[in-house]
Amino acid sequence: MEKRKLIIDTDCGSDDAVAIAMAMREPTVEVLMFAAVDGNVPMEQAAKNTLTALEYADRYYPPVYRGCTRPLLRDAVYAYETHGEDGLGDLGFVPKKTALAEGNGIVKMLQTLRESSPGEMEIVTLGPLTNLAVAFMLDAGALARAKRIWSMASAGLGLGNVTPVAEFNIWHDPEAAKIFLEAGLPVTFIGWDACLGESMLEENEIEEIRNSGTLGRFAIDSNRQLLELNRSRFGRPSLDMADPAAMAAVLYPECVKDRGDYHCEIDISRGPSYGAMLVDRNHEFGAGPKISLVSALKPGLYKQYLIDILAR
């Protein structure tokens, strides 16, 4: 069977690193390249963290390129409280065998798409949508050659994780998200709500992953900041793994529980809902951009897939 071809765009923090390892361990896909973007951590750190994730996945080494170093209009705000100052739990993880590729990730992404057949490539975004918005503005036709763009973005049908209504990846660069959403591309968003509730990793599952091998230890240890944050946020040491949940929806669609098509808008009004994606869940808008939105996974299938693929 021919492998699916992926381009991954990432602001690699600790949960991105797990999602990247999942893609590298999945035998049905081939990752062609990575583009780093400013988000959880500054772009340069995100790029280096991507290399570290590739080394721990220990399969093959697609090129990792630098992308946008800041949001389009707003000042950058990083997620150090969630991922640590270095994005990987401040445990000193650094790439030892690999180096960043020369060239710009947005240019390389567009070049790869131009050289592919229409519908041959899929794009997975794990961070803010800055790179994708710039890519669209540079060459909308090339980006439209993608079969589908999968984005871990928005609060889905639930509450936000950085404000009461906004999810981090949209909130970090709402103007870019608005450009991307209104581009008319074949897009599926996987909301933050997809990793919550019964899809959160609990202590026994965390220990099973950590004890599964070198990659499992890296996956859990790099997320130690998130574990501590969740002790106060949820009252227990659990992991809401947004990017692995999104990657599971991409790689293993059987684990998707709730998916719907909705008209959506990005709020860039600079008011209290700045950075939120407004979802017309009652189908009253009747116009505007319409996207596919994944808001829940089947917890048992998702968790078992995650556990198994990290142990391969």
Sign of the CA dihedral running 218, 221, 227, 229: negative
Among 153, 161, 154, 196, residue whose Cα is nearest residue 9? 153
Task: Read off the pTM.
Answer: 0.97
- Cα–Cα distance for residue pair 258/241, rounded to 1 Å: 17
Lowest mean per-residue pLDDT among 101-105, 204-208, 278-282 = 278-282
Instruction: Output b/e per residue, 19-29; b: 16+ Cβ within 10 A.
Output: bbbbbbbbeeb
Q: At 290, which CATH number?
A: 3.90.245.10
> What SS3 string covers 58-122?
CCCCCCEEECCCCCCCCCCCCCHHHHCCCCCCCCCCCCCCCCCCCCEHHHHHHHHHHCCCCCCEE
| Structure confidence by residue, pLDDT tens digits, 170-183 | 999 999 999 999 99
> DSSP character for 198?
G
CB distance 262 to 280 below 8 Å: yes
If you search the block for the tokens 């081939």, which residue do you land on?
30
What are 17's strand-pairing partners? Answer: none
- Which amino acid, one-letter code, is at 272? P
- The residue segments making up the domain with residue 278 are 4-310
Q: How far apart are CA 90 and CA 291, in angstroms?
A: 37
Averaged pLDDT of the chain: 96
Residue type, 225: Q
Find the mean pLDDT for residues 268-281: 95
CB 39 within 8 A of CB 244: no
The count of domains in the chain is 1
Task: For residue 289, name the pLDDT band (cuts at 50, 70, 90).
Answer: confident
Q: What are phi and psi of 311, to 5 degrees?
A: -95, -5
Given the structure tokens 């992308």, which residue do they identify? 67
Hey, what's the torsion of the CAs at 291, 77, 32, 109, to 10 degrees?
70
* pLDDT tens digits, 89-114: 999 999 999 999 999 999 999 999 99
User: Does residue 246 contact residue 190 with C-beta atoms inside 8 Å?
Assistant: yes
Q: At what angle do helices 299-310 and 203-210 cross, to 10 degrees?
A: 20
pLDDT tens-digit profile of 23-65? 999 999 999 999 999 999 999 999 999 999 999 999 999 999 9
